Amino acid sequence: MSQIHLETLDAILEKHQCDPSQVIAIMQDIQKEYHYLPESALCYTARKLGISDAKIYGVATFYENFSLEPKGKYVIKVCDGTACHVRKSVPILEEIRKQLNVTEKKPTTDDMLFTMETVSCLGACGLAPVCTVNDHVYPAMTPEKAREMIREIRRKEGLDA
Amino acid sequence: MSEIKRINTRAELEQKREHFIQCLATQDKQILICGGTGCVAGGSLKIYDRLKELMEERDIACTVQLEEEPHDHSIGLKKSGCHGFCEMGPLLRIEPMGWLYIKVKVEDCEDIIEQSILGDQVVDRLVYRDKDGTPYQRQDDIPFYKQQTRVALEHCGHINAESIREYIAMGGYSAVAKALFDMTPEGIVKEISEAGLRGRGGGGFPTGKKWEQVLRQPGPEKYVVCNGDEGDPGAFMDRSMMEGDPHRVLEGMIIAGIATQAHQGYIYVRAEYPLAVERLSMAIDQARQRGLLGKNILDSGFDFDIHISQGAGAFVCGEGSALTASIEGNRGMPRVKPPRTVEHGLFDSPTVLNNVETYCNVAPIIQKGAAWYKTIGPENNHGTKAFALTGNVNNTGLIEVPMGTPLRKVIFDIGGGVKDGEFKAVQIGGPSGGCLCLSATEDHLDMHLDFDSLKKVGAMIGSGGLVVMNDKSCMVEVARFFMNFTQNESCGKCVPCREGTKRMLEILTDITEGRGTLEHIKLLEELSSTISETALCGLGKSAPSPVSSTLKYFRDEYLAHVVDKKCPAGQCKALVTLQIDPELCRGCTKCARLCPVGAISGSVKQPHVIDTHKCIKCRACLDGCSFGAVKEV
């Protein structure tokens, strides 16, 4: 588990005046910092806000954007909204999973380089099908383009594709 | 940057407006680059930077922000909101000529500056051409735009989305002034009621009635909430409005505050829309600096402020009571009603909750009056509606048409027809909506798109996602897709939705994978009616709609799946058989080598054959064949 800096957490809590109704915004800031929600950070936050561990765990697990597991360096999101779906997003999804050797249950590669997720709609339906890598949008994707995209990232990381 | 002064009175607002109009007039030409999510993804910001660089190199006076003081003649360069024609992005508009350039690339910038800015010529290759090759220089002449009526999207794509000065120059915040000084709260509610404005988020509840109920509640703790949690896949109207004209949303909310005597507002924006959050935050800061938000607005004694609350990815938060629970920092789960949100909403106080598009319609109604608004759209369904036109359609994008516009006009005249095939159906209203179709027995193409007409055929306008599907789409698969979405997003509070949608998804998966029986279809119908009668919230109640509506209009397709074990559209992989066309096969043996289960046999230079009993339908042969001889039947 990565190191939790209490000063960082205190600064985030301070920014939201330790207000329990701000718990979602606080967790968003924590996730921005660590790319996931470390258990110890959640317990610390719960104590500071005066709410129970169960309550904060309940909120954290309710919302899809929060992750209790560390994510890879590159988070690939494949849009499977209606518009992307009818313009054939599934073959792209399958190709990326095949390339990365990941599944729906195990979305992160062992080397912690990639995490593969599906999202319901990124709102860029005009460019369907789309996928994003760390919020950079790749428009009008095909399985071939997806392969090239992964190869490109691996090259950048000094790995042989 | 000149100092930003607070606007203290209504007279000062009018002076400022005159002043900003004059400032705008010093811009001889304006380049508006679409800064909507779609065009940004297509590289529009690089084009913006390149144009700026080119103008600096050529010593062309260029204004990127409308300044406080008038300046010398210059060229305005700005990032606007979504122009709507997303299929053709990145888009660039040149004013005052009204030219629209499509699919602009960084390399085109030089010609744009030389020919259209320094000269007065159109860059011909960047102009939109229809199927027949007819060029359209002016945006307003393009069929896609010509047939629209823009009220909520009036400024979207026409002004710098990040400038309160431009918004004021366009008449912005004058409706707030009118509401504050010329009208009583009751008068505002009456005007909105008379205009017949109905909620644009899906339900179509009369907005005036909602406001009246909140006004009647005792204060002082009341809230105005804006629902920007546009979770329907395939819908992006609200996002475009928040990104393209954020002040319009704020103005609508302030007027709602005046009408209901509330002093706090919240905008709930889904986390997937970072640009909308950025633009709204900027707009709120600007409005506060100008004194249009905060204490004693325009010296009227009325206080109002707005906060942004970000979602964290839960579709159910689009439901009123779930949304308020989420703003309070809880799990976003709906609760039993009554009491309604108008009585016990946010922090247990009376709350006005409307969607983004509804608020965008408020300022024009106050400014131009209910009588004007009623001239648009049919009785009981007044005004316009924005739609996100997506899927298998030629002109994907954001459109706004009068309520009651026939579907045919939207898909064929504005949308430019169906892409890669024939029209089969359109899914309207997202996971809560239904299908409109063209089949042997039904023809919905002349259907009028408004609340009441759609209700009659079991569909709903929803928030306004219109996904067009061609004859290659399998409706059973589409129903399974929506059920998968709803099941994923079910909050789990009530049994009918939590368990019912799961069972429906299992049945639909069985059908698409060839394990379906006739019993399954009956069971689906039974589950549909049970869930819609017993689920706790509106989203649960409407969850079976995509299934019941496809069952109604595409029963043949379901039967083909369960009885004949065939997918007529050829989409359900498990139901497709692969065959080799002996005419096209050259006997190269590649497919036989590729097949992982040895299902293909044949000798060299002789047509090969697939043994369908051995075939696992992996499609390795199909992808590998160089002669296109492997076919799905």
- Minimal Cβ distance to A20: which of B87, B329, B465: B329
- Minimal Cβ distance to A127: which of B38, B388, B465: B38
DSSP string, A76-122: EEEE-SHHHHHT--HHHHHHHHHHHT--SS--B-TTSSEEEEEES--
Give the residue from B46, B82, B330, B550 with the most A CB atoms within 10 Å of its CB, the best one to mutate.
B330
Structure tokens that stand for A98 in this block: 């095949």
Lowest mean pLDDT, pick from A62-66, B348-352, B522-526, B618-622: B618-622
**Pair A99, A147: CB distance under 8 Å:** yes
Contact A87 B391 (CB under 8 A): yes
- Minimal Cβ distance to A83: which of B231, B329, B391: B391
Give the model's pLDDT for residue B619.
84
Give the pairing of strands A131-133 and B62-63.
Answer: unpaired
Distance from CA of B309 to the nearest CA of A (A): 8
Find, in chain A, the residue whose alpha carbon is nearest to that of B230.
A123
Cα gap A32→A26, rounded to integer Å: 10
Mean pLDDT value across residues B64-70: 79
Per CB-CB distance under 8 Å, the chain B contacts of A28 are: 271, 310, 312
Cα gap B260→B504, rounded to integer Å: 43
pLDDT of A2 above 70? no
Contact A82 B473 (CB under 8 A): no
| Class of residue A32 by CB neighbours under 10 A (exposed 0-12, middle 13-18, buried 19+) | exposed
Give the model's pLDDT for residue A161.
52
Find, in chain B, the residue whose alpha carbon is nearest to that of A129.
B391
Tell me the β-bridge partners of B306: B265
Sorted by sequence, the CB contacts under 8 Å of residue B5 that are 6+ apart come out as B68, B290
Identify which of B392, B479, B466, B472 has the alpha carbon closest to the alpha carbon of residue B436.
Answer: B466
Distance from CA of B98 to the nearest CA of A (A): 23
In terms of pLDDT, which residue wins out, B71 or B150? B150
pLDDT of B397 above 60? yes
Q: How confident is the model at residue A1 (pLDDT cuts 50, 70, 90)?
A: very low
Distance from CA of A54 to the nearest CA of B (A): 12
Q: CA of B376: how far to CAs of A37, B25, B192, in Å?
A: 50, 31, 14
Residue type, B484: N
Give the residue from A37, A94, A118, A125 with the most B CB atoms within 10 Å of its CB, the best one to mutate.
A125
Give the model's pLDDT for residue B279.
95
Contact A119 B332 (CB under 8 A): no
Give the residue from A42, A75, A86 with the most B CB atoms within 10 Å of its CB, the best one to mutate.
A86
Sorted by sequence, the CB contacts under 8 Å of residue A112 that are 6+ apart come out as A70, A72, A73
Per CB-CB distance under 8 Å, the chain A contacts of B390 are: 82-83, 125-126, 128
ipTM attached to this prediction:
0.90
B318 touching A (Cβ < 8 Å): no
Q: CA of A76: how far to CAs of A55, A68, A118, B343, in Å?
A: 30, 18, 8, 43
At residue B547's C-alpha, the angle toward residues B545 and B552, to 5°, is 95
Contact A21 B311 (CB under 8 A): no
Q: What is the mean pLDDT of chain A?
A: 91
Cα gap B252→B176, rounded to integer Å: 8
Residue B613, number of CB atoms within 10 A of its CB:
6
Q: Is the whole model's pTM more than 0.80, yes or no?
A: yes
**Pair B454, B204: CB distance under 8 Å:** no
Cα gap B190→B187, rounded to integer Å: 5
Q: CA of B490: how far to CAs of A64, B230, B487, in Å?
A: 12, 16, 5
Give the residue from A19, A23, A31, A62 with the most B CB atoms within 10 Å of its CB, the best one to mutate.
A62
pLDDT in tens, B535-558: 999 999 999 999 999 999 999 999
Distance from CA of B430 to the nearest CA of A (A): 8
- Whether a cis peptide bond, with omega within 30° of 0, leads into B233 is no
SS (H, E, C) B55-95: HHHCCCCEECCCCCCCCCCEEEEEEECCCCCHHHCCCEEEE
| Class of residue B599 by CB neighbours under 10 A (exposed 0-12, middle 13-18, buried 19+) | buried
B10 touching A (Cβ < 8 Å): no
Give B331's DSSP letter: -
Per CB-CB distance under 8 Å, the chain A contacts of B315 are: 120
Identify which of B345, B305, B175 has the alpha carbon closest to the alpha carbon of residue B354.
Answer: B345
Residue type, A136: H
Mean pLDDT value across residues B141-163: 94
Contact A82 B430 (CB under 8 A): yes
Per CB-CB distance under 8 Å, the chain B contacts of A139 are: 41-42
Distance from CA of B46 to the nearest CA of A (A): 14
Distance from CA of B114 to the nearest CA of A (A): 30
pLDDT in tens, A10-50: 999 999 999 999 999 999 999 999 989 999 999 999 999 99
At residue B499's C-alpha, the angle toward residues B495 and B500, to 5°, is 100
Q: CA of A63: how far to CAs of A57, A58, B316, B326, in Å?
A: 11, 9, 10, 10
For residue B243, give the H/E element and its range.
Answer: helix B237-244
Per CB-CB distance under 8 Å, the chain A contacts of B392 are: 86-87
Per CB-CB distance under 8 Å, the chain B contacts of A58 are: 331
B402 touching A (Cβ < 8 Å): no
Residues of A with CB under 8 A from a CB of B: 20-25, 27-28, 58-59, 62-66, 80-83, 85-87, 119-128, 130, 135, 137, 139
Give the model's pLDDT for residue B2.
54
Q: CA of B3: how far to CAs of B6, B256, B397, in Å?
A: 10, 30, 39
Tell me the β-bridge partners of B31: B77, B94
B421 touching A (Cβ < 8 Å): no
Residue B139, number of CB atoms within 10 A of its CB:
25
| Percent of chain B residues topping a pLDDT of 90 | 79
Cα gap B569→B444, rounded to integer Å: 20
Q: How confident is the model at residue B4 (pLDDT cuts 50, 70, 90)?
A: confident
Mean pLDDT value across residues B559-566: 94
Give the model's pLDDT for residue A160.
64
Residues 375-394 of chain B with CB under 8 A from chain A are 388, 390-392
Rg (alpha carbons) of chain B, rounded to whole number: 27
Contact B330 A83 (CB under 8 A): no
Give the model's pLDDT for residue B438.
84
Per CB-CB distance under 8 Å, the chain B contacts of A21 are: 327-329
**Pair B594, B620: CB distance under 8 Å:** yes
Give the residue from A19, A63, A121 with the most B CB atoms within 10 Å of its CB, the best one to mutate.
A121
pLDDT in tens, B441-479: 788 999 999 999 988 888 888 878 899 999 989 999 999
Residue type, B435: C
| Percent of chain B residues topping a pLDDT of 70 | 99
Cα gap B457→B26, rounded to integer Å: 53
SS (H, E, C) A56-72: HHHHHHHCCCCCCCCCC
Q: What is the mean pLDDT of chain B?
A: 93
Q: CA of A133: how far to CAs of A116, B39, B145, in Å?
A: 9, 17, 33
pLDDT of B288 above 90? yes
Contact B272 A122 (CB under 8 A): yes
Give the residue from B237, B349, B394, B396 with the most A CB atoms within 10 Å of its CB, the best one to mutate.
B396
